[in-house]
Chains A and B, each alone.
Chain A
Amino acid sequence: TQLLKQSPQFLSIQEGENLTVYCNSSSVFSSLQWYRQEPGEGPVLLVTVVTGGEVKKLKRLTFQFGDARKDSSLHITAAQPGDTGLYLCAGARGGNNRKLIWGLGTSLAVNP
């Protein structure tokens, strides 16, 4: 059972376009992280969202945590080729649970 569903699985766009990717669940998370991974490298943490309805911005990237803390979105404005990569979301269940629940990722290709 996939507890975190990411959509779309693949996305290929032209430089300068905007895009949104989604991370959805029927479960509540105490926090949610977004990571970006480039081929042959480990994932790199982009952001952590904690509060329902929270919005965080990282340059051209905007992250939102759903009001009920069950879903999240990542919006990229004016995408650039350097944004190409695999975007992974991961949720924490809280308490003493030391594991993250991972989505399968959205593979983004930004073409020049």
Chain B
Amino acid sequence: SQTIHQWPATLVQPVGSPLSLECTVEGTSNPNLYWYRQAAGRGLQLLFYSVGIGQISSEVPQNLSASRPQDRQFILSSKKLLLSDSGFYLCACHPPSSYNEQFFGPGTRLTVL
């Protein structure tokens, strides 16, 4: 079975600073990968998804970008953080062997001050 790692677990950053969140996956190959943001214990907002190395689809125009330099590595970045970027960021994986299920990492709590 797959394991999704995210780091850091928590992050406090000043407005205008850069951001890099990393997600790595073990136990599967050629997965679809996703970045979500979740506000205050509510639903998930899809930010980016990737079906392969170097292939990124953006769902919402924003201050963030994503990259997939390796099959099982997904990175969420920003050049200059805004207050509104605060939230709980989740990385998810859809292995080729699964039906439509997504499996999630533990998340990163980002606070922008």
Residues of A that sit less than 8 Å from B by CB: 30-31, 33, 39-45, 48, 50, 86, 88, 90, 92, 98-100, 102-105, 107
Nearest CB in chain A: distance from B24 CB, A: 14
When A and B form their complex, what is the total count of cross-chain residue pairs whose Cβ atoms lie within 8 Å?
A: 56
A98 interface neighbour in B94, B101, B103, B106, Cβ under 8 Å: B94
Which residues of A lie under 8 Å from residue B106 when comparing CB positions? 41-42
> In the complex, are the beta carbons of B107 and A107 less than 8 A apart?
no
Question: Which residues in B have their C-beta under 8 angstroms from that of A92?
Answer: 99-100
Interchain CB contact under 8 A, B101 and A102: no
Whole-angstrom CA separation of A105 from B44 in the bound complex:
9
Closest chain B residue to A41, Cβ basis:
B106
Give CA–CA (A4, B109) in the complex, Å.
Answer: 26
Interface residues of B in 37-92 (CB under 8 A from A): 41-44, 46, 49, 51, 59, 88, 90, 92
8 Å CB contact of A48 from B4, B49, B100, B107: B100
CB pairs A–B below 8 angstroms (29 shown): A30-B100, A31-B99, A40-B107, A40-B109, A41-B106, A41-B107, A42-B4, A42-B90, A42-B104, A42-B106, A42-B107, A43-B90, A43-B104, A45-B101, A48-B101, A86-B41, A86-B42, A92-B99, A92-B100, A98-B32, A98-B49, A99-B46, A99-B49, A99-B59, A100-B102, A102-B46, A104-B43, A105-B43, A107-B41
Given A31-B100, A100-B100, A104-B42, 6 more contacts at CB 8 Å? A39-B41, A92-B100, A98-B94, A99-B46, A102-B44, A105-B42
